[in-house]
Structure 1
Amino acid sequence: MTETSGPAPLLTDRLRHWATHRAHRPAVTHVAFPGPDSSGVHSTLSWHGLDARARAVAGRLRQTVRPGDRVALLLPQGLGYPASFLGCLYAGVIAVPLFTPDLAGHGGRLAGVLDDCEPAHVLTDGPSREAVERATGGRLPVTEVDALAEGPPASELPRPAPDDVAYLQYTSGSTRSPAGVMITHANVVANARQAVTAFGAAPGRTTTVGWLPLFHDMGLVLSVAAPVHAGFGSVLLDPVAFLESPVRWLRLLGRYPGAVSAAPNFAYDYCAGRIGADEAAGLRLEGVAALLNGSEPVRPATLDRFLAAFGPAGLAAEALCPAYGLAEATVLVTADRRDRPPVTVECDAEALAAGRVEERPGGTARLAACGRPAGQEVRVADPESGTVLGEGRVGEIQVRGPNVAAGYWKQSGRPAGTFREGWLRTGDLGALHGGGLLVTGRLKDLIVVDGRNHHPQDVEETVRSAVAVVRRDRLAAFGVPHGDDGGEGLVVVAEVRRGTRVDGERTRESLARARAAVAARHGARLADLVLVGAGAVPRTSSGKVARAACRAGYLSGALRGEEL
């Protein structure tokens, strides 16, 4: 698409353009798996069809709500979701991407978000309507988007201002109660453009293939906003379909040349651990262009395992792209280059604990380089004083750019604690190294034992490696009050593999092994290791370990191994 003079085009401008110039080309495809042996049932909307359905949603909303009202999307993953989201943008209302009430374990979060955003209307589909009305108490008007007739022409719909809020991206709650990040029309267009540039995506040679839920920031931008901005196709599968059989995702990646996708670190470990040699042998991944690894700290060991498992299927090392982002920056902040394999920095563990990145070949602390800023500025600063730190110094990552959000919904005082002199304070820790970014963890998750800093994901990996019965990426390390001097004790809660029987003797043996490994690698004493049953470690709606919730459960006595 040729840029024109004047204001930067909104997503709805892009959608209207592709509906005219690529009317019958595939825009979005949903792949359903009705049974365990299904190869997938594909349903597709063309650009014209996607635009028509979005306009139908907009037409309905224009009859029932006012510009600026919130509209909650309580929809399953499918064709109706992007159409509903874009319909909200067409109508000039504020979309609130959420999930259906049957998402296990997140009913409380859904109720809290609905209470916070106070929607004037709910969009759902026919099969979900009854559950939605129960969840909302019948208090809100509900529209079934799959039953709408044709909407008005795009020329009759309002065009929002770039600085108007387009949607509220509710955070997953891994470190605090969910909060609605206000993403403007200009923010989402800027980040879509940044993502497209970072991955070299273009119509005719790129297709995004995603299972991340569309209420998740990475899922929404990579599977909806970026494709609509640049005019390439998007393929969706349900997160449950991925969790049931992760090979489905990889098969779809191989089916679409130039495939681009994204997932948190745990998903790559999950694939390497769950997909057997026979299934892997049938994969053809030489056409995969980029697999973004982000949303939680990227572990070099995971990159190694994933490439070892699927490199023989043609996956190029250069396709693995460690990245960093957060909802307050719409999503993407940095991404590694695609012309080289991922870069791992081996560091001196003692120096890293003291806040310095010092390369040392064979060092026990390994960090994945998360690339350079994608069309924005990144710096590292002391979280207390705000002093900007130089290369190789660990501090709080701060971001400035056109993709940085305006603040939090109904929390006018919150930006003062989140922004400093125009820079977004991310709450994440990292260091600049070689012109790129190394991410070391969350500021709120940092564990201080005897005056030394420990990042929870490093301790979790040490314990998982030392204790064979522990499930990968089902651990939470955190600090608890210890002694009378205000210090912290180091605790790990870990799920054991399904079907594993753990008695008192085995627990004692596991604790001894874990303590020895933590002492050897981190120079710290592990105060407690709690082994719990599969599914007991709290997780956010996007699948990340919720360490704060786990700590609260431990302190309250709810996580004491009773589930075994």
Structure 2
Amino acid sequence: MLTSSDPIPASGAAPDVPRKGPRADTLPALLENWATNRGDRIALTHLDHRTGPEEHAVSLTWSELDQRARETATWLRHRVEPGGRVALLATHGADYVIGFLATLHAGLVAVPLFAPSTPAHGDRLHAILADAHVSVALTTRAKQPKVQAALQHLASPRPQVVAVEATRADPEPLPLPDPEDLAYLQYTSGSTRSPAGVMITHGNVVACARQAAVSYGVLPGRSVTVSWLPLFHDMGLMLGVLAPCVLGIRSVLLDPVAFMERPARWLRALSRFPGAISAAPSFAYGYAAGRVTERERSELRLDKVGALIDGGEPVRPELFARFRERFAGCGLPALAHCPSYGLAESTVLVAGVPAGAAAVSTTFYREQLARGEAVPADPGEPSTVTLTSCGWPAGQEVRIVHPATGAELPDGRIGEIWVSGPNIGRGYWQQPALSAATFCALLAGDEQPRWWLRTGDLGVRFDGRLYVTGRLKDLVVVDGRNHYPADVEVTVEGAHPAIRPHVVAVFTVPDSHGNEVVVLAERSSWVIECELDAEEVTGAIRRSVAREHGLPLHDVLLLGPDEVPRTTSGKVARAACRERYLAGGFAGSRAS
């Protein structure tokens, strides 16, 4: 088993608690206390790059943030019944944070979303707003016309769309929520026809933030979070809003577009704010390493970075290695890398490599992994795959379980990851059957029966550490052999230089003889389509996959830039790829 009591080299101090005030068990109570005890200290800084080439910094102290949240909370309390849902459709920045905190302070349930920018976004928003029965949609004055236009076709009753700037009211005393009360609905990425909102309580928020504090070495008065991750994403919300407010540390926000345009902006913020704790998916580390210029790199000083969390998608060790090599000369600490694992159903965090501990990668034989067993191999051996450990549980218990029998598996055997702890959500909004199946699993032979969360992820315990191998539902099974799509996708990416990194989907489709494998790959944006030999690229893909995995491919489609479906958090949506392929939605599909 893996438990939070296992000896781990965690470097974090015990989370700071307020010196005054009777309550420290919900976010609104903690925000009140920080306003009382640290009122003149800066709580939030937004580095705004939308107004020109130079950033415009907007900061709020704890007193100012608490005051603004109370004003909007009072406005909401007079218009929404207790427990009602309020959606956040604002742009990334201080108004989003104020609206979110105000919703919780008013005893309402927040639904963190995003300001729509494409018709596809409108479809997803409609599905979520209808599912959550949202009463009010908070946005900004600049985005209000677009939000109203995007929601005009929503079935009645439509939510009232209002700008956060227009909700300032004289603050009134409001009762504080209890830890068991619902705080927000975190909608997971997936099909717009069946949105699933994870119910997160105030107690879940506080527990998860304090778990993260210990894992990633948060030091009161010295640590600061720096984040460009979307605030509607579970990791972005925790890093940019929840953890700072629970722990009483400063939060620095950048817009996701600002990072994508110039990743040096993120690294400059890490240089500017000592003790920075930040997070990004693996692709972002490789992206930054390749896009930061020599001149930009020469201005960076990264020696005081506290922790760089690597999560949100399968950890790719070669991408952070490239990042480390690129910025080692800027003083980047050798032990800053913190590979982690989590999901929305656990608020965000399950396991991680603590700050100050070395990330460990292990090479395994691919054939044995396909059979459900982790057998180590020497790096560089043929037919192997290297996985990076996600460390140890962060204040919770983790088991590796046979998905069919519910029995715990021994070390070295691959099974489903099950989790139990105070950060686990209450279930899915208005989906009792799915909630029971996912959040109320019973471990066979458990001496102390309790409910476990079935993550749907496959993993293995090896040398006391957790390794995540893939998603159970995405597993590619051909001729009785298991293949992990992420592993095959890495092979496809390396098959030809014209293939765009991190935008490959591998999935199976039904055939009269069983399952057949399909590959979707985007060509890189620098490739001129008329000069590309598509047969050369697809042939290289087929040869590489056959050589490395022994897999014949039913179809290989080379698509243009941005044609592979993605989730709102930017990850390739394999299920949507498969669905569109079967519907003949891609040119050249041969669905049967």
TM-score (norm 1): 0.95
Question: Does structure 2 conserve the Cα–Cα contact (< 8 Å) formed by 1:348 and 1:365?
Answer: yes
| Structure 2 CA distance for aligned equivalents of residues 436 and 396 of structure 1 | 15
Q: CA deviation digits over 1:146-182, x for unaligned, max 9? A: 13335425xx211222111110000021799431000
Question: Does structure 1 conserve the Cα–Cα contact (< 8 Å) formed by 2:122 and 2:151?
Answer: no
**Which residue is 1:540 aligned to?**
567
| Structure 1 CA distance for aligned equivalents of residues 69 and 60 of structure 2 | 11
Q: CA deviation digits over 1:61-101, x for unaligned, max 9? A: 11101111111111110101111111111110111111112
**Which structure 2 residue ranges, 5 or more long, are not aligned?**
1-15, 443-450
Distance 1:391 1:176, change over 3 A: farther
Q: CA deviation digits over 1:314-349, x for unaligned, max 9? A: 212311110000000000110112223321011111
Question: Does structure 1 conserve the Cα–Cα contact (< 8 Å) formed by 2:87 and 2:111?
Answer: yes
1:474 is aligned with what amino acid? V
For the residue of structure 2 that corresponds to 1:288, the secondary structure is: coil
Distance 1:502 1:202, change over 3 A: same
| Structure 2 CA distance for aligned equivalents of residues 532 and 132 of structure 1 | 31
Determine if the alignment matches structure 1 residue 55 to structure 2 residue 66.
Answer: no
Distance 1:546 1:437, change over 3 A: same
| Structure 2 CA distance for aligned equivalents of residues 308 and 49 of structure 1 | 41
Identity rate of aligned residues, in percent? Answer: 50
Structure 1 residue 8: Cα displacement: 5.1
For the residue of structure 1 that corresponds to 2:129, the secondary structure is: helix
**Which residue is 2:47 aligned to?**
31
Residue 426 of structure 1: which of 440, 455, 460 is its match? 455
**Which structure 1 residue ranges, 5 or more long, are not aligned?**
none
**Which residue is 2:578 aligned to?**
551
Determine if the alignment matches structure 1 residue 501 to structure 2 residue 539.
Answer: no
1:201 is aligned with what amino acid? V
**Which residue is 2:421 aligned to?**
401
**Which residue is 1:323 aligned to?**
340
Question: Does structure 1 conserve the Cα–Cα contact (< 8 Å) formed by 2:459 and 2:469?
Answer: yes
Determine if the alignment matches structure 1 residue 263 to structure 2 residue 263.
Answer: no
**Which residues of 2 match residues 66-145 of structure 1 at below 5 A?**
66-102=81-117, 105-137=120-152, 139-145=158-164
| Structure 2 CA distance for aligned equivalents of residues 328 and 384 of structure 1 | 21
Distance 1:94 1:322, change over 3 A: same
**Which residue is 2:410 aligned to?**
390
| Structure 1 CA distance for aligned equivalents of residues 299 and 363 of structure 2 | 34
**Which residues of 2 match residues 115-514 of structure 1 at below 5 A?**
115-137=130-152, 139-153=158-172, 156-173=173-190, 177-362=194-379, 363=381, 364-419=384-439, 420-421=441-442, 422-482=451-511, 484-485=512-513, 487-502=514-529, 506-514=533-541
Question: 330-339 or 167-176, which moves further after superposition?
Answer: 167-176
Question: Does structure 1 conserve the Cα–Cα contact (< 8 Å) formed by 2:23 and 2:29?
Answer: no
Structure 1 residue 229: Cα displacement: 0.9
Question: 170-179 or 293-302, which moves further after superposition?
Answer: 170-179
Distance 1:90 1:151, change over 3 A: farther
Q: CA deviation digits over 1:275-314, x for unaligned, max 9? A: 2333323322111111111111101111222212222222
Q: Pick 1 or 2: higher relative contact order, CA cutoff 8 A, min separation 6.
A: 2
Determine if the alignment matches structure 1 residue 44 to structure 2 residue 44.
Answer: no
Determine if the alignment matches structure 1 residue 15 to structure 2 residue 31.
Answer: yes
TM-score (norm 2): 0.90
Structure 1 residue 35: Cα displacement: 5.9
What is the Cα-based RMSD across aligned positions, in Å?
A: 2.0
2:134 is aligned with what amino acid? P
Question: Does structure 2 conserve the Cα–Cα contact (< 8 Å) formed by 1:80 and 1:145?
Answer: yes
| Structure 2 CA distance for aligned equivalents of residues 350 and 378 of structure 1 | 26
Question: 177-186 or 505-514, which moves further after superposition?
Answer: 505-514
Distance 1:174 1:338, change over 3 A: farther
Structure 1 residue 561: Cα displacement: 6.2
Question: Does structure 1 conserve the Cα–Cα contact (< 8 Å) formed by 2:123 and 2:192?
Answer: no
| Structure 2 CA distance for aligned equivalents of residues 7 and 20 of structure 1 | 13
